[in-house]
Structure 1
Amino acid sequence: MRTLLKIAAALLIGALLPPEPGMAGDCPAKREDCHFTVLTIPFESDDAGELGRNVSLTIQHQIFRKFLLSLPAEPEDICCLPNDTIAVLAWGQLSEQDHDEAIRRANEMGSTQLVLWGKAWPWREYVVVQPYLSVVGPPRELDPQVRICCTNTRGIDRIRPFTKDGEWRIWEIAEDDANGDARKLYIDRFPRELYDLPQISLDANDVEQFRSLAGLPIYANNNGRVGRLLDGVTTDSSIKALQHVGEWTLVDEPRGWIKLPVVDAGQIVEFIGGLMHFLRGNWERARTSFEAVAQDEAGSSSVRVDAALLLAATEYRLDASCGGCQHAIDIAKGINPYSVTTARFELMARIAQGGPGNEVATLLAELTENRALFPPEDPFTQRAVEFLREPAR
Structure 2
Amino acid sequence: MKAICDRKALAEAANIAIRAVPSRTALPIQTHFLITAEAQAMRIAGADYELQIETTIPAQVVEEGQCTVLARILSELVSALPDGDIQLASLPDGHVELRTPTSEYKLFGLPPEEFPPLPELTSEPTIQIPAPLLNDLIRQTIFACSTDPSRPQLVGANLVVEGNLIKMAGTDGNRLSVRRATLEQAAPEPISCIVPSRALSEVQRIVSPLPSDTMVQIGITQNQIAFRFPDICLISRLIEGQFPNFERVIPQQWTRRLTLQTKEFQSALRRCMAMAGETRRVVFRTENDKLTLLAESSSFGSGREEIEVIKEGEDIEIAFDIRYLDQFLNVVGTEGTVIEMTGSLAPGVMRPVEGDDLTYVLMPMQLI
Structure number with the higher strand fraction is 2
- Pick 1 or 2: higher relative contact order, CA cutoff 8 A, min separation 6: 1
Q: Which TM-score band (shorter chain)?
A: under 0.3
Give the alignment's TM-score, normalised by structure 1: 0.23
Structure number with the higher helix fraction is 1
Give the alignment's TM-score, normalised by structure 2: 0.24
